[in-house]
Amino acid sequence: MDNVIFNILRIFHLYDIYCEGYLRSYEGFLEFVHKQLETKIPNILNENKLETLKETYHLKLVEEDYAFNYYISWNSSFDFKILSNNSILGYTDYDGLMNYLIEEESINIKDKMVFFNFCEEIRNLQKYFYKKTKSKYHSRFYTSFHELALIGKEVHFNSKTIWADRDSPVKIKDIFNHFGKDSAHLRQNDLEKYIDIFHLNPHYDWYGQIAISDVYDVVESVINGEVKEPFSIRKIKCKYTHKYKFNFNSNYIIEWNYQENCYRLKHLENGSYEYFNGIIEFIFFIHDEVRNKEESIKECTLNEVESFIIKVFEQDKSNPEFARLVEYLFEGDIVITSEDLPF
């Protein structure tokens, strides 16, 4: 019966809701399509896709208004069956199972601590799976972007709130505390540093999960100065060591620290600041300021921006961003216009 249900899901493409293994590569997808075209439905229904599901784990969490109750079974081929309330939710592979548990249930959980506890139960499932099964995952325990985004934040789970923040700082001390890792070997100053969870993008898998060990690798990189802290943190901590006053607007002073890649524009009339994560962001800002001005004002402004870029480049000639801009500026004595900017 398991085989029949499993393969009916495949026929109607419902299986892809839980298992995206066929979509991992273009070649794998083509192979799947050709097989569907060449095989008659009665043969598909009788195909022995599922072996006996030998192992079962009961994932249960009951807290306040929440109750989760899953029975998860699998075989040596890592085909998983998910049951809840005596109903088969679907069949999937290991990655699809993790994705379902983290992503699907995160929609239903509105309490941060309940969500954290549910994530911990998922890692208990992972621990049991590694104990019972030899697999390619080598006992790697996973977290997700959603869980990391909530560490140290006084917010309820809301995907729109989390994703709206494109510079998401998480304090290193909070990471160690959350995952129960000993931090005695670290200095207090290091524990107060932050990582940017968007910097973890290369480590996230197809399902938006990341191994906790990879998170700690990035933590080490931040502590060792190989990776900068998030800009929202860096711009406040930064010591702005250089300044430049623009003639085109006597109310503007630009201050910067090229080593931290932090720039801020001071408005002299009220003392407020606007911050820029790199010189490119600042140039975009100036361009927007003068785009509707008279041509003479635009030309004067952009020429002064050119002088400013060269001044910064003199301090940091190793920066490829500056080198590219200056190289462009000196090509045939071109005057910068909005259409000419090389980005």
Strand, coil or helix: 215: helix
176 and 133 in one domain? yes
Please check whether residue 5 lies inside any domain of the structure: no
pLDDT at 334 over 50: no
Which residues, in sequence order, are CB contacts of 51 under 8 Å at separation 6+? 75, 76, 77, 79
Task: Using the 3D structure, point to which of 223, 252, 269 is the last residue of a domain.
Answer: 223
61 and 152 in one domain? yes
| Main-chain phi, psi angles of 278, to 5 degrees | 110, 160
Q: Which tens digits make up the pLDDT trace of 278-299?
A: 888 888 788 777 777 777 777 7
91 and 143 in one domain? yes
- What is the domain extent for residue 219? 52-223
| CA 191 – CA 244 distance, rounded (Å) | 35
Tell me the range of 19-23, 199-203, 213-217 where mean pLDDT is highest. Answer: 213-217
Q: pTM here?
A: 0.70
Q: Which tens digits make up the pLDDT trace of 13-45?
A: 554 444 444 444 444 444 544 555 555 544 444
219 and 258 in one domain? no
What's the confidence (pLDDT) of residue 250?
A: 67
Give me the residue label for tokens 């601590």. 113
215 and 109 in one domain? yes
Task: Using the 3D structure, point to which of 171, 188, 223 is the last residue of a domain.
Answer: 223
Give the start-end residues of each E strand in the chain.
55-63, 66-74, 80-84, 87-92, 142-144, 169-171, 194-196, 209-211, 242-245, 252-257, 262-267, 272-276
